[in-house]
Chain A
Amino acid sequence: MSTSTPNPAELGTLAQHQAQLSQGQFQIQKCQTCSQHIYFPREICPHCGSDDVAFVTPSGLGTVYAVTTVRRKPAEGGDYNVSLIDLDEGPRLMSRVTDVPPEGVHIAQRVKAHVVVTEGRGVVMFTALNGVAP
C-alpha cells in the first residue's frame, strides 16, 4: 500500500541536495533499480520511473560539453564562463569553470568539481585539469 504523507523528518530531494551542498558536499543520485546516475536530483528516476533513488558521491571528474562566455560590464564584475559539464558518471549539469579566464575554457577540457559555500549556501563549481577527454 502506498502512503501519501511524508515522514515529518523527511525532506524533498531539492532540499536534501541543497543541505548537502551547503555542508560542502556534492552528491548526485543513483537509481537503485536501473543503476543509472541522475542529476539534477529527483524524487523518481527519469530513466526507469523507479522511486528507489539514493544519493551517492561522484568522482567529481567531468568534461566540458558546451561553453559560453557571458559578457558583462567590468563595473558589474566582468565576463564570466557558463559551461555544461558531463560528469564521468554520465549526467550533465550547468556550472562554471572558475580558475581560468572565460576565454580559456574549452569543450573537451577535463574538469573537477568543488563546492563553494557563500553566506551558508553551497554551489558546485569546477576547476580545469590538465588535458582533454580522450
Chain B
Amino acid sequence: MNLSTLRGSAAIAGVATFGCGEAPGFSEMELLARSAHAAVADAGLKMSDIDGLCTASVGSTMWSMPVVEYLGIRPTFIDSTMVGGSSFIAHLLPAMHALQSGQCNAVLVCYGSTQRTSTFGRREIAQARRWMDPQPYETPYEPFNPPSAYALAASRHMHQYGTTRRDLAEVAVAARRWAQLNPEAFMRDPLSIDDVLAARMVSDPLSVRDCCLVTDGGGAYVLVRAERAKDLPRPPVYVLGNGTAVWNRQISAMPDLTVTAATQSGREAYAMAGLGAKDMDVVQLYDAFTINTLLFLEDLGFCKKGEAGAFVRDGGIAPGGRLPVNTNGGGLSCVHPGMYGIFALIEAVRQLRGECGDRQVAGAHTAIAHGNGGTLSSQSTAVLGTAATL
C-alpha cells in the first residue's frame, strides 16, 4: 500500500467564497458559515450530509468546537491541524484517508477571517501572539513579521542569484493583471513595475506592493469519495496528490533561505499524482509576498533554482505569459484574509471546472495549488485534475 492508491480517490464537489474584500459587520464565524453553506449547496448536499470537518483559526486554539456547534453538525472525523496558511491544503490528505476508510462520507473544509475590518486589530493580535506563540530568540530583535522574515529570504535570493527588486515587482504586476480579469478581486487598479519599485518600503527589499493584501473573507470546499462525486451536480475535481512538509517555525531556524520545504511537499504530491511540473496546466502559489512566488516556482520544479527571476520577467506569469500563475490575482491582488491557502485551492478548482470567465485558462485539466504557512515554515502542495486525468 502506498499513497498513490489514494490518487483520485476523493474529489472536490463543492466550493464557495463569501465576503472576500471587506465585510464590515460580520464575524469570522459568520463568514465561515456563509461560505460553508454555499459550498455544501454547490456540492448538491445538505449540511446534515456533512460528517467530516476540517478547519483552523489564527486566533482560537480550539476552533473546531465552536464551528461544530455553530453549524449544528456531528462529525465523525475532525482535523483542526494548524500549520498556518497552508492548513486548508494540508487538510486534504488526512480527509482522503478518513473518506477511504469509511470514517466519514463528506468532509467540509472551511475558514473565515475579518482581518481587515475586525476591531480587534493586527497590533493587538501581534501582542497576544508574543505570549501564546513565543519566539524568544527572534522577538527581542523586533522583526516586523511576517514581512521581515520574507524580506530576509528575498535578500538572500538576491545575493545568491542576482534576483532584483524589478523581478519581485514582476510578480506583483502579473498578479494585478490577473486580478483585472477577476471581478471578485479586491485590487484591480493598474499597477506598473515602477509603481511597485516606488511604493513605501516595509522591510527592505520588500515594499508594501510586494506584500499581500489584508482583507476579510471566507472560503470552503467539500470533499467526497470519487464515486459519489460523479453523481453530484458539479464536475468533480479529483485530488491526485497532496504532500505537507514543515522544517522550521522561525526564519532563523530555516536551513537555507533560498530552498523551502515545498521541495519536499511538492515531491510527495507529484509522486502520489504520478505527474510533474511540466504536466501542470494552471498554477496557484501562495503569494503572501512576491518572493514566495519565485521560491515556489523553483522549489516546485517550474524552473531551476535561482532562475525564477528570469522566468517571471517580461510578463512570464501574467495573462498571456509562459505559465498561468495565480489566475485569481493571488494574495497580492485578489484576497488575503489572514490565511490564503483555501483560496488558492478554490481558484484551482474553478479553473478546472472551466468557470473562470475572462481569466479562464483554456483546456485546463491539471492544476497545482500550493500553500505556505508561518514564515516559510510550512508547505503543502496539492495536485488536482479533471476526470480526464484519472
Contact = CB atoms under 8 A, between A and B. Distances in A.
Contacts of A108: 159
A96 B143 CA distance: 10
B137 A68 contact: no
A40 B156 CA distance: 21
Given A84-B257, A92-B252, A69 B142 contact: no
Given A84-B251, A84-B257, A92-B252, A68 B151 contact: yes
Contacts of B143: 68, 70, 82, 94
A130 B202 CA distance: 29
Contact of A70 (B138, B203, B252): B203
Interface in B112-150: 136-138, 140-144, 148
A95 B251 CA distance: 12
A43 B360 CA distance: 53
A107 B143 CA distance: 17
A45 B243 CA distance: 27
B198 interface: no
Interface residues of A, dominant DSSP: strand
A55 B289 CA distance: 38
Contact of A82 (B148, B250, B253, B257): B148
A14 B204 CA distance: 31
Contacts of A103: 204
Contacts, number: 72
A74 B202 CA distance: 14
B201 A82 contact: no
A67 B143 CA distance: 11
A66 B274 CA distance: 37
A69 B154 CA distance: 12
Interface string B249-281: 011110001000000000000000000000000
Contact of A94 (B144, B201, B206, B251): B251
Given A92-B252, A94-B252, A68 B155 contact: yes
Nearest to B208: A71
Given A82-B143, A96-B141, A67 B152 contact: yes
A65 B204 CA distance: 15
Chain B CB within 10 A, most for which of A39, A84, A107: A84
Contacts of A80: 142
Chain A CB within 10 A, most for which of B136, B140, B257: B140
Chain B CB within 10 A, most for which of A66, A67, A70: A66
13 contacts: A65-B257, A66-B152, A66-B257, A68-B148, A68-B151, A68-B152, A70-B143, A71-B144, A71-B203, A82-B143, A84-B257, A92-B253, A107-B159
Interface of A: 14, 18, 39-40, 65-71, 80, 82-84, 92-96, 103, 107-108, 123
